[in-house]
Amino acid sequence: MSFFKDKSVLVLGGSRGIGAAIVRRFASEGAAVRFTFAGSEQAAEQLAAETGSSAVEADSSDRDVVIAQVRDSGPLDVLVVNAGIAIFGDSLEQDPDAIERLFRINIHAPYYAAVEAARKMPQGGRIIIMGSVNGDRMPVPGMASYAVSKSALQGLARGLARDFGPRGITINVVQPGPIDTDANPAEGPMKELMHSFMAIKRHGRPEEVAGMVAWLAGPEAGFVTGAMHTIDGAFGA
């Protein structure tokens, strides 16, 4: 029987891409999965029907919505905060409101969701946040706000690991390199540049990231916390 059978899993930002692969992975192992979406209602409904999970509309840019969503999902065995956005362009020209929204989705939501989840999480609970190898290495211009946000998650995990460790709750950051999703298609215009930084010259698959998330949530990872787990074809090496 799967370790995840009937475990309660919440994925914030699960309608597409890496988040959808994580929903599929946990659902296929018998977990009771709930996931949020913001703009992709149709994709969310299809995924929910396909996997037997439940989809809830909840915008991660709103702190109170995030906190309420985690609270209303009841005691969670696993929280995955996957929702994230990127903004490209000259930092001198960017709209501060758009940057502020990025920080709310990419930094504030993971922080408040993790804290809220930990209130009721049982011993052995797992919190996994989707970072990026860009938290360690940003080799191109125009993505400083994204890099800031993904580096911030490293401090988040290190600090909260100390707070939650005495209760056996772990918190980890997964740091993908280029992964083939709508946000970063394998055949997109940046393909050659990105692959030039890598030892394994291809985009990763969302399922490969979901596998790492499942390991971190599983029975072998109880001693792994406050750590960054890079899966990037050596993009950041």
Shortest reach from residue 123's CB to ligand NDP, in Å:
28
Q: Hunting for tokens 């609970």 — which residue is that?
A: 125
C-beta of 98 vs 167, nearer to ligand NDP: 98
C-beta of 148 vs 183, nearer to ligand NDP: 183
C-beta of 189 vs 219, nearer to ligand NDP: 189
d(CA 149, CA 160): 17
Shortest reach from residue 62's CB to ligand NDP, in Å:
8
d(CA 231, CA 235): 9
Shortest reach from residue 29's CB to ligand NDP, in Å:
20
- From 26, 37, 146, 164, active-site residue: 146
Q: Is 146 a catalytic residue?
A: yes
List, in sequence order, every beta strand (DSSP E) within the chain: 8-12, 32-37, 54-57, 78-81, 126-130, 170-176, 227-231
Shortest reach from residue 214's CB to ligand NDP, in Å:
16
The contact set with ligand NDP (CB under 6 A) reads 13-19, 36-40, 44, 59-61, 82-85, 105, 130, 132, 176, 178-179, 181-184
d(CA 46, CA 31): 18
Closest C-alpha among 162, 156, 146, 155 to residue 105: 146
Q: Which residue type occupies 233?
A: G
Q: Which two tokens stand for residue 16?
A: 């597409």
C-beta of 3 vs 115, nearer to ligand NDP: 115
Closest C-alpha among 223, 214, 221, 229 to residue 4: 214
Q: Residues with catalytic annotation?
A: 146
